[in-house]
Structure formats: C-alpha cells, structure tokens
Amino acid sequence: MAFYGFLSILLWVPLIASPITYLLSKNGPGRAKVFATIVSALEFIYSLVLWYLYVARDKYSDLIAVADGFVFHEKIDWIVVGNLKIYYALGVDGLSLPLVVLTTLIFLVSIISSYYIHEREPLYYSLMLLLMAGVMGTFIALDLFLFYIAWEIVLVPMFFIIAYWGGPRRRYSAFKFFIYTHLASLFMLIGIFIVFKAGNYTFYMPELKTNLANYAELSKLILAFYLMAVGFITKFPQVPVHTWLPDAHVEAPSPGSSVLAGLLLKMGGYGLIRLGVWMLPKQVFTDPSSNVRLVLALLGMVSMAYTAFVALSQKDMKRLIAYSSIGHMGIVSLGIASYTAEGINGAIFMMIAHGVISPTLFLISGVIQHNAGTRDMTILKGLWKKLPITSTLLVFSALASAGLPSLAGFVAEFLTFAGLFKSDMFGYGHTYFWITVVAVMSVIVVAGYYLWMLQRIVFGEPEHIKVEHKPHFYEIFPLWVLSFFILLLGLLPFIVLKITDQFVSIIIPPA
C-alpha cells in the first residue's frame, strides 16, 4: 500500500511550525531559534531520506506512489466548482528533487547563521519557517493554483524580513522587491490563464502538458510563454528587470540574502523550466517561427556581460555578489536557450551550484560585516590577517563563483557552454553565434571582479579593521557545510546530474 503523505509532511511541517515558533517563545527568549533549527534540521534530514527513496524507488515500489511521471505523487480534490477541479497535488521529479534538498539545506544554514538576531526573534524565525513552506510549495506543487499560491506567499515573509531586519534603506528595498515581483507575477497569472484555457480548463500540470501538446495555435502558447516568462525573469532576475535585486540584497540581513539568492531566484528558474520548457509543447522552443530561444539567449548574454561590467565598479561587497548572481542566472537562461541536453542539465545544475555558492558568499559578507564592521571594499583591507579562516572560505567561494574547475560552478558553466556551442546557435554563418562568444568572453570579466575583490579585501596589511573576537561558531559552521557541498558538487556532479537528466531526457530524448 502506497503512502501518500511524503511531500505533505515536507510542506506542512514548517507551515504548522511557523505559528508554533511564534507562540512558544513568548515565555522565554531564545526558544524560537532552537525550535526553528530543530524543525529545519529535521526537514533537511527528511529531504535526504526522500532523495534516497527517490533513487531507490524501484526497491520500495509498494511504498512510493509514482504517477504522471512524478514520484511521491499525491493528488486529492481540493476545490470543485462545477466541472472545474482544483487539486491539491504534489510530486517531485528530476527537476524539483534537487531543489527540494537545496531548499532544506539553505534554510538550515540560514537559520543557524541568524543567531545573531535578537530583535523580534520569535517573529523572525516564524517568518523564516513560513518562507520555507512557501518555497517548498513552489517546488513541489503540481497544480498551478497551488503553485501560484505558494509563489505569492513567499513574498510576504521575505518582505517583512527585509523591512524589519534590514539595513538603513530597508523600507525602500522591501517595497521595491515586493512591487517588482508581485507585478511581474500578475503577468504570469495572465499567462497561466491562457494556458488554462488552451489546455482544456485544468490547472493540473501533467494533464495540461498532455492537453497542450495537441493544441493547434502555437502563437497563443508563445504569447503565454512570454507572459509567464515576465514573472519568472523578474524573479530570476535578468536585465533589465533586475534592479530590485541589488537593493534587496544590500538591505536584507545576510541570512535573508542567502535565502533570497539561494532559493527565491531559483523559483524563477524553476518556473521557467517547469512551465516553459516542460509544460508547454516543444514547438514553442523549436518551431522556426518562434524566437523564444533567441530572446532567452539574448537576455542571458546581456545579463552576463552587463552585470559583469557593473560589478566591476561596486564598492559594497554584497552589491557585487548580487550582480554576480544576476550574471549566473544569465547562464541558466543561456542553458535553456541552447535547448540541448547539456545546456538544460547545465542550467539546472547552475541553479543548484549557485544555490550553494551565493549563500556562502552572502553569509561570509555577513560575517565580515559583524566582525570587521563594514562591507565597504574601499575600506576593508588585509582581512586575512584578522580572520584567516573566513578569508580562506571567501577565496574558496569567490573562485567557485568565478567558475573554478573542481568546484560546483564550473560544472554548470562547462555544461552550459558545451550546450551552447553544440546547439544551432553557434555555427558557421549563423548570425547568433556571437551570443555564445560574448557570453564566454564575459567570464574573463567575472574572474576579474572577483580577483579584484579578493586583492582588495583579503590581501595587504589591515588598516581600518578592528576585530575583537573570533567569529562565532554559528557564523563559521554554516560556511563549512556549504563549502563542503560546493566541493562535493564540483567533484562528483553526477550525484545531481543523474537525477536531473531523468527530467531532461523527457524533454530532449537522447538520440
């Protein structure tokens, strides 16, 4: 007898724990963080168990429900209005499973590294758990209705995290973040409705996929793609709808930045691949009349090159990392645009790799700010002498972000570029081949600004830094955990790619 609650547990535990966290700690301060840590740690361990069960699903076939290509499948009627049925449907496949594990990991380390927060502590951890439920729901929802709810719920706790615990311009940034992403998701909503209508009035994604494959009017689907893409690309984000990101990152507390960069950006990438690449028929991408791939490739290329140059003239370390995030998400766009097995696998891998690398960088920037008092790169100097281990990890993660081989970022970059070169975008006499060229060249600038940052911060004699004590254990420990994953994914990428390819091979069947 199959068990139908695997993913519901994953989704509902943080959701229920959220108010409990708040209520618990009314009596004693400090309870909230312990409780939130325990919940997120359990979630992380549980998600690893799910990973194992997913891999060994043939062995436990009587326990695990597999339906419509999704594992741990759950589907019950939720809202029934006449013929319209909205399901409460959950499931994971090769695309969402790595993201689910990433979610639990990033929340665990972010919650641990939030221990320095003492102001409105119960509310903070309660919001973190709510955020976790929202992100998780986005990744595992199979019904567009549920997906959209989860997608929108995420905005609320994130808004408050920025607005309550952020830096000096937090209110501006929080509003900017909220309005940008909320407006964009309205476009997405219209896109969803077009798909809903075209796909024979259902919100259930696997059913929509089947129905849309027979839908004749390609132009309407392409329109739907663009509308949905506005939502995803703003969340990603890509140039020119990216300006909320640097502000939000700079003002958010560093654990908030880590969740924002590690997971909220990935929601955009996930949506683009799930709703765009997977759900819509192949013709949206491959049909000669469609220029979807070209637009995506252009967005990706511009985002890579543009942000690489902008990052060169940043003074705030967090801003620099924020711009580099946009550039890395550009690689995701390019990978999707290449529409090859290498490219899409690379794009998914980039989301995972960036999902562990950028939180590391943001958390390190937090450690630096708390211990050295500033993040301003014109003031910081000679950090190695004061914080040797933090500095070592900074060098490590900055180089990982710059795409150093044997670390996670490189695998994704390599696969994406391999896909780009292999795709028809790059060919003799093809007008678009320079997209690939510019994208590859911009990697030099990326290495340039990271090396400049390291030269500036880590090397030299310390001047204005005062460090009274060693960084706390809770500040350093998460960095070690994430660094371990950066190295693991760089050396043994097949752990993830074996899973993601199960998803990609549905879209692009191997020849």
CB of 339 to other proteins, least distance (A): 13
Q: Which residues contact 84 (CB under 8 A, 6 or more apart)?
A: 201, 202
52-71 positions binding other proteins, by CB under 8 A: none
The least CB distance from residue 413 to other proteins, in Å, is 9
The reply on whether position 415 binds other proteins by CB under 8 A is yes
CA–CA distance, 164 with 181 (Å, rounded to integer):
19
286, amino acid identity: T
Contact between 422 and other proteins by CB under 8 A: the answer reads: yes
Beta bridge partners of 75: 89
Minimal distance in Å, beta carbon 26 to other proteins?
38
Six-digit token string for 178: 């909220």
CB atoms inside a 10 Å sphere around CB 170: 20
Strand order in the sheet with 84-92: 66-67, 70-81, 84-92
19 binds other proteins (CB under 8 A): no
Q: Check residue 342 for interaction with other proteins (CB under 8 A).
A: yes
Does position 2 interact with other proteins (CB under 8 A)? The reply is no
**At its nearest, how many Å lie between other proteins and the CB of residue 218?**
25
Asked if residue 189 binds other proteins (CB under 8 A), the reply is no
What CA–CA distance (Å, rounded) separates 345 from 330?
A: 15
Residue 55 Cα distances to 50, 94, 495, angstroms: 9, 10, 10
Compose the 314-333 pattern: x for residues touching other proteins by CB under 8 A, - for all others: x-------------------
Contact yes or no for 24/129 (Cβ under 8 A) = no
Distance, in Å, from the CA atom of 348 to the CA atom of 193, rounded to the nearest integer, reads 26
Measured distance CA(53)–CA(3) in Å, rounded: 12
The residue length of the chain stands at 511
The residue within the footprint of other proteins, chosen from 74, 93, 251, 501 (CB under 8 A), is: 501
- Contacting other proteins (CB under 8 A), which of 451, 481, 487, 488? 451
Nearest to other proteins of 77, 424 (CB atom) = 424
Residue whose tokens read 């371990």: 484
Strand partners, 89: 75
CA dist 359 and 262 (Å) reads 6
Interaction of residue 176 with other proteins, rule CB under 8 A:
yes
Site for other proteins (CB under 8 A): how many residues? Answer: 62
Question: Do 354 and 411 meet the contact criterion of CB atoms below 8 Å apart?
Answer: no
Nearest CA to 456 out of 387, 381, 360 is that of 381
* 90-110 b/e (C-beta count within 10 Å ≥ 16 → b): bbbbbbbbbbbbbbbbbbbbb
Q: What would you report as the CA-atom Rg of the chain, rounded to the nearest whole angstrom?
A: 22
Q: Is 412 in the site for other proteins (CB under 8 A)?
A: no
> Cα separation of 95 and 225, whole Å?
19
Contact between 505 and other proteins by CB under 8 A: the answer reads yes
- Per CB under 8 A, the segment of 44-52, 143-151, 226-234, 436-444 that binds other proteins is 436-444
Q: Between 219 and 258, how does the x/- string for binding to other proteins read (CB under 8 A)?
A: ---------------------x--x--x------------
| Piece of the chain touching other proteins by CB under 8 A; list 49-57, 96-104, 227-235, 309-317 | 309-317
Asked if residue 445 binds other proteins (CB under 8 A), the reply is yes
Burial class (CB in 10 A: 0-12, 13-18, 19+), 358: buried
Check residue 84 for interaction with other proteins (CB under 8 A).
Answer: no
15: contact with other proteins by CB under 8 A = no
Q: Is 443 in the site for other proteins (CB under 8 A)?
A: yes
Minimum distance of other proteins from residue 252's CB (angstroms)? 17
**Taking CB under 8 A as the rule, does residue 418 contact other proteins?**
yes
Query: Interface with other proteins includes 190 (CB under 8 A)?
Result: no
CA–CA gap between residue 266 and residue 270 (Å, rounded): 6
Q: In angstroms, give the least distance from the CB of 430 to other proteins.
A: 12
493 binds other proteins (CB under 8 A): yes
CA 173 – CA 166 distance, rounded (Å)? 9
Stretch that binds other proteins, among 3-11, 264-272, 284-292, 488-496 (CB under 8 A): 488-496
User: 13 or 425, CB closer to other proteins?
Assistant: 425
Residue 498 is a binding residue for other proteins (CB under 8 A): yes
Per-residue contact flags (x/-) with other proteins for residues 279 to 308, judged by CB under 8 A: ---------------------------x--
Which residues contact residue 311 at a Cβ distance below 8 angstroms, ignoring those fewer than 6 apart? 319, 320, 323, 324, 327, 445, 446, 449
Interface residue list for other proteins (CB under 8 A): 176, 240, 243, 246, 306, 309-310, 312-314, 340-342, 345, 382, 384-389, 392, 399, 404-406, 410-411, 414-415, 417-418, 421-422, 426, 437, 440-441, 443-445, 447-448, 451-452, 454-455, 458-461, 470, 493-495, 497-498, 500-501, 504-505, 510
